[in-house]
Amino acid sequence: MLRSPPPKNSKPSGTHRPNAGSRKLSFPRRLLIHFAVACALTYGLEFWLHHVVEASGQSHNVLTQSLFGLATFYHRLVTAIPRKPSPRFTTLITLSTKSSPPGVSLFNICRERQFLGEALKSLSHAQPSVVVIDKYFGAATCPKDDPGTLNLIRGVQALCAGHTAVVVGRKVTDDALTGGGGITTYPLDQSVMFAPAATCVTEGVTNIDLDLRRVVLWWPNVQPVLSSQGPPPSLALAASLASSPALISNGRLSGWAPESPRPYVSFVERGQFDSHNVAARDIVCGAGGDPGWRECQDDELSQSVRGLVRGRVVVVGEDVADYDRHETVVGDLPGYILQANYIESLLDDRLIRPVPEVLNVLAGLMFFVAFEYVAWGYHHKRLNALKWIVILVAGTGLIIYLSVTLFGYYLNPATIGLLAVLLRLADMGLVPSREPRAGSIRR
């Protein structure tokens, strides 16, 4: 006898389970485990690597940036908008084996001071806005009444006479940085005193943050420098204030305090400074006898040098292999170009405030939960899952864009969120599925 088919709204009998495509959405406990492991890896490794860098007394974080390549890529991506960084305010003067006259080098400091004095006298004719010397001049490096040091002071005086501000570097002592805890105020290395002979001189601390993506504004636990009554400014901030005294009251720097978190900055790409770089030998003129160079008079200075220098912030520094070099998000840079990048960001108002770390964690968690929801809910429809993942990434990118460009806050859910996603994908590949195959019969 033929049996009629069961009604459409009848429920299946017995213990037969629905297939994988009709299961209800649920979040496994692995979600929280994955995210907790991602947070532990991110912060644990970063804390450990920063501890290693601090213990070594170095001022860069090569290991951290090498390990967190994702963070480096993310930083370059979010800081390249809305306008591409370029050298709008600074010009470089490079002291190096190739660009300096013979005999002038870091390894002959007193003679180099003699040369700098002549170069600064020449620069005074080109009328730069500020001259920043990314060097610290030890008080006992050269003999007392050293002719080179005296000529350096005369060069600074010539700039003062031409109404050019001068910013000279000071350095926190190495012993203080590596001496451990218990220090409340860090001392500075003893340095050549340019005041009161040169009244236009200010000083800034040349030390930098371990995280090179951030610029130091003030040093709250360091002794005051010349023209500073409170926490001394960094070299970059001192130079920027010398160029634009109203900087603190305008733009994103407004309301920033010495105790505030250090802001993130964007970087000029390597090679962009090439057209704003003057070789040190082009600042002086030839002379007979020893040393073979002298100050250029007003009518002797080339028009190309004048055009690169006039009205700009001129950063003078060394480019020497294995000396004062830093691995940044745009590659290996000498210290004076790194300082020029910081100055550019300050004057161009390209500062981004770091958000409280809990917001990065929550943003990363929200991204991971949304990804998990899509992956779990559309596991049987991969094209739909891909579509929603693309929408998720695009929406997250839009939120980050608005956060950085409109509000000036550095929101970074990428490191934690994507690391958690990678752990989720690894788990999917390593743990076999327990769902029955299509058409299989459970007994």
Write the secondary structure of 254-288 as one string of H (helix), E (strand) and C (coil): CCCCCCCCCCEECCCCCCHHHHHEEEHHHHEEECC
Q: What per-residue confidence (pLDDT) applies to 24?
A: 43
Write the DSSP symbol of residue 191.
B
With 80 as the cut, is the pLDDT of residue 346 above it?
Answer: yes
Determine the average pLDDT of the residues in 51-75.
52
Listed in sequence order, the residues at least 6 apart from 185 whose beta carbon sits closer than 8 Å to its beta carbon are 221, 222, 223
What phi and psi values does residue 433 have, to the nearest 5 degrees?
-70, 140
Whether omega before 245 lies within 30 degrees of 0, making that bond cis, reads: no
The β-bridge relationship of strands 351-354 and 264-265 is antiparallel
When pLDDT is cut at 50, 70 and 90, the band that residue 203 belongs to is very high
Q: Which two tokens stand for residue 30?
A: 């692995």
pLDDT band at residue 423 using 50, 70 and 90 as cut-offs? low
Contact 293, 101 (CB under 8 A): yes
The reported pLDDT for the residue numbered 181 is 52
**Percent of the chain, pLDDT > 90?**
35
270 or 171, which is more confident?
A: 171
Q: Is the pLDDT of residue 220 over 70?
A: yes
Residue 439 is predicted with a pLDDT of 46
Provide the CB-side half-sphere exposure for 6 (13 A, CA). Answer: 6
Question: What is the structure's pLDDT at 185?
Answer: 79
When computed from its CA atoms, the radius of gyration of the chain, rounded to whole angstroms, is 30
What pLDDT is stored for residue 79 in this prediction?
72
Q: Tell me the mean pLDDT in the region 66-72.
A: 54
Residue 215, token pair as written in the block: 């610029």
Chain center to CA of 302: 35
pLDDT at residue number 170: 92
Annotated domain spans of the chain: 24-81+353-430, 90-349
pLDDT higher than 90, residue 381: no
Which has the minimum average pLDDT: 111-115, 174-178, 271-275, 434-438?
A: 434-438
Task: Quickly state the pLDDT bin for 198 (edges 50, 70, 90).
Answer: confident
Q: What is the pLDDT of residue 226?
A: 83
Q: Which of 144-148, 258-262, 422-426 has the lowest mean pLDDT?
A: 422-426
Residue 264 in this model has a pLDDT that exceeds 80: yes
Identify whether the C-beta of residue 122 lies closer than 8 Å to the C-beta of residue 301: yes
**How far from the centroid of its chain's Cα atoms is residue 46's Cα?**
16
Which CA distances in Å does 152 have to 97, 278, 283, 318, 386? 20, 19, 15, 16, 65
Residue 67: what pLDDT?
A: 47
Mean pLDDT over each residue of the chain, to the nearest integer: 79
Q: In the structure encoding, which two tokens stand for residue 374, read together?
A: 């899509």
Which of 23-37, 91-105, 147-161, 346-360 is least confident? 23-37
Q: What is the mean pLDDT of residues 36-48?
A: 63
Window from 70-79, 85-94, 149-158, 340-349 with minimum mean pLDDT: 70-79
pLDDT at 235 over 90: yes
CB neighbourhood size of 255 (10 A): 8
Q: Is the pLDDT of residue 186 over 60?
A: yes
pLDDT of residue 251: 78
> Contact, 368 vs 392, CB < 8 A?
no
pLDDT of residue 15: 46
Residues 6+ apart with CB under 8 A from 142: 109, 110, 113, 148, 149
- Helix ranges, 331-381 (H): 335-347, 357-377
Residue 371 has pLDDT above 70, yes or no: yes
Higher pLDDT, 33 or 97: 97
pLDDT computed for residue 134 by the predictor: 93
Spatial neighbors of 324 by CB under 8 A, at least 6 apart, are 317, 318, 334, 335, 336
